[in-house]
Structure 1
Amino acid sequence: MLSSLSNLARRYASGLNVLIFFVLQMIISAGILPYMRSKFDPQMILGVLDLKFGFTANEAYNILVAYGEEGRKYYLWVEAFIDVVYPLIYTTTNVLLLSYVFKRGFTPSSFMQQLNIFPILATIGDFAENAGIIAMLNAFPERADAAANFASAAGMFKWIAFGTSIALFLIGIIAWIIAAVKNKKHN
């Protein structure tokens, strides 16, 4: 199944598709998400649990208390709906981008070609993190420390997977440059 998914991603990894999903990702991350955040963190100083690399249950609940009742309701809505769509968009962008770069930097039989779907791990972590945050918000004002700890661990996993995806992209760019130089020497 993973091999089929990897092949599918490579088949659709055109410059146009990468660009379309990149633009969608930028619209959401630079426009929609900051607007949504302003609804539960108007001064933009409290932070968002999703953007933290780990947090304690106390830190999480201090933020949730500071959001206020309406802010928590809005944050729950964002977590349950918007933060389901956004990971799908950024993962599609990252998978297509890795596929595009790897096709140019590595031979079709290279193991690296199969790593084009690695960004899916970040999405799994993101969805798990969201589930923990939603559980905390649904339990509020009761504390769900286990959910907070789970959300924190899942968020750290997400960021590690995302960072690894960036490293894979850089490796792909280097491989592409090397392949281009080799091809130029042979022509």
Structure 2
Amino acid sequence: METLHQFLNRIANLKTFFVLLAAYVVFPGYILKNAEANINQFAGKPIGPIDLTFGLNPSKTLEMVAAYGEQGRAYYAQGEMTMDVIYPIVYTFLFAVILTLLFRNKPYTPFRYVNLLPFLTMLFDFIENVFIVILLYRYPEQSMIVAVLCEIAKLLKWLSLVPVVFAVLYGLFKKIRIPNA
């Protein structure tokens, strides 16, 4: 933990921030948008990826897996093992660098390792991806247990993002209110 914290302190600067921000913008703005369009095209209707759904509905997840079609499932699984491995790394390091820049050596730091919070989100995202790939590859066999585990991982991913966003907002607020602290 300390090693990662120190690494982030070493790399966190405006240049790193802008490189990560540019990479981040490319993902939802182009790569993931096109991937979703391809999945929908293979399915023959707008379904979207499981990753972006909210709530806890394993039955819906199983319905989505079935609706993707054979080509859609193959494409989605490939995307989960490539694009959706890189994207969590990008957004995790972006948020970690932002948090490091906002809280490095500040008296108002919520806790020492606040910049490591995004790694929890990445962990849950990776776990979710594993379960999605299992569901996609095992089709037509459908496992409610795997779907439930997928939904739990997805829910934890979204919930773990909340403290990250609040920490960024808190840091920005403090930075504006106490510019030289």
1:137 aligns with 2:140: no
Counterparts of 1:99-178 in structure 2 under 5 Å?
Answer: 99-103=100-104, 106-107=106-107, 110=109, 112-178=111-177
Query: Residue type matched to 2:60 in 1?
Result: E
Q: Residues 88 and 44 from structure 1, CA distance in 2 versus in 1: closer, same or farther, beyond 3 angstroms?
A: farther
Aligned to 1:97: 98
With 56-65 and 114-123 compared, the bigger mean Cα shift is at: 56-65
Q: Aligned partners of 1:130 and 1:69: how far apart in 2?
A: 18
CA apart distance, 1:177: 2.0
Q: Aligned partners of 1:163 and 1:22: how far apart in 2?
A: 19
Q: Aligned partners of 1:165 and 1:6: how far apart in 2?
A: 15
Equivalent residues of 2:128, 2:154 under 8 A apart: yes
- Rg larger in structure: 1
TM-score (norm 1): 0.89
Q: Deviations over 1:57-89 (max 9, x none)?
A: 320121122211111110110111111111011
CA apart distance, 1:111: 5.3
Equivalent residues of 2:54, 2:155 under 8 A apart: yes
Equivalent residues of 2:124, 2:157 under 8 A apart: yes
Secondary structure, counterpart of 1:54 in structure 2: coil
Q: Deviations over 1:131-178 (max 9, x none)?
A: 111111121000121111111100111111112101000111122123
Aligned to 1:83: 84
Query: Residue type matched to 1:139 in 2?
Result: R
Q: Aligned partners of 1:72 and 1:92: how far apart in 2?
A: 29
Secondary structure, counterpart of 1:59 in structure 2: helix
TM-score (norm 2): 0.91
Equivalent residues of 2:73, 2:137 under 8 A apart: no
Equivalent residues of 1:135, 1:144 under 8 A apart: no
Q: Residues 138 and 119 from structure 1, CA distance in 2 versus in 1: closer, same or farther, beyond 3 angstroms?
A: same
Percent identity (aligned):
25
CA apart distance, 1:44: 7.0
Query: Residue type matched to 1:120 in 2?
Result: F
Secondary structure, counterpart of 2:134 in structure 1: helix
CA apart distance, 1:102: 1.1
